[in-house]
Amino acid sequence: MIVAMQEGADHAPVLDNPQAKGKGSKLGEVLAFVRGLRLSARLVYILRNRLTDYDVSVHWGHVQDGNRGICSPECDIIIHQGGEAARWNGSTDQDCVMDFRFIKAPHVLAVISCKSKTDGIDPDFARVLKKKFKVKHVYIFAESIKATAKKRLSKEARSYGYKGFWYLYEFRKLDERAVNRDVYMDFLKKLRNVLPLKPTGMKKAS
């Protein structure tokens, strides 16, 4: 996992363009949604690979409350046991752009919210998932943060009901970033502690 995520840091998207002229110019920036999607897609692939001993699936989508016919806010990563109510993939062939799932709330084990350049924590996301959809384990994984914001963001995440806050790298100066190497095993350990193992004989080496 360290190697896979290091590649993401080594090829990080341009977060801003110091050569751009004009106040508030977005010239040269990668759209925040695209940066977040890039991070969440990479994490989905990594988790599918690293959780092969666990009786779970990993997808992007909505948590669905079938009894009330409502959906949660968009969930970058849903870890679940079955419970797929619907699927949007934009195509019937294997070259589809989307693979978006609707997962019934009782089958959801954990949700991970992925952020790109993070300077604040959403105060409502975890609370909504816990209160309205009974999702007990909600986490945040950020692409980048300011080094000076680590303690504040971690404290905010806990106060808003998130079970964990991790980030890929931190910016210490304008062009200096440092990979948060200690985060990876802690991230996987926290997830594995709340996920069910596959029955004996069904496990694969991870």
pLDDT of 168: 85
Enumerate the domain spans of the chain.
Answer: 2-8+29-87+99-192
Pick the more confident residue, 43 or 28. Answer: 43
Confidence of residue 3 (pLDDT cuts 50, 70, 90): low
10 Å CB burial of residue 35 (0-12, 13-18, 19+) is buried
Amino acid 177: pLDDT: 72
Q: Estimate to the nearest angstrom the gap between the alpha carbon of 206 and the chain centroid.
A: 20
| Position 117 pLDDT exceeds 90 | no
Average pLDDT value for residue range 82-87: 92
Using the predicted structure, report yes or no on whether residue 97 has a pLDDT greater than 60: yes
- Residue 26 identity (one-letter amino acid): K
The pLDDT, as a whole number, for residue 134 is 95
Mean pLDDT for the chain?
81
pLDDT at residue 17, as a whole number: 47
pLDDT for 206 equals: 36
Examine the pLDDT at 4 and tell me if it is beyond 50.
yes
CB count within 10 Å of CB 149 equals 16
8 Å CB contact between 78 and 63: yes
Is the per-residue pLDDT at 31 higher than 80?
no
- Which residues neighbour 97 within 8 Å (Cβ) at sequence distance 6 or greater? 90, 91
pLDDT at res. 14: 46
Q: Per-residue pLDDT for 13 more than 70?
A: no
Give percent of the chain with pLDDT exceeding 70.
Answer: 74
pLDDT band at 198 (very low <50, low <70, confident <90, very high): confident
Res. 143: pLDDT tops 80: yes
Question: How high is the pLDDT of residue 182?
Answer: 75
Comparing 62 with 5, the larger pLDDT belongs to: 62
Q: What is the mean pLDDT of residues 130-158?
A: 93
Cβ burial 86-108 (10 Å sphere, 16+ → b, else e): eeeeeeeeeeeeeeebbbbbebb
- Tell me which of 2 and 105 has the higher pLDDT: 105
- Residues 48, 58, 155: CA angle, nearest 5 degrees: 100
Mean pLDDT within 15-43: 62
Average pLDDT over residues 168-188: 78
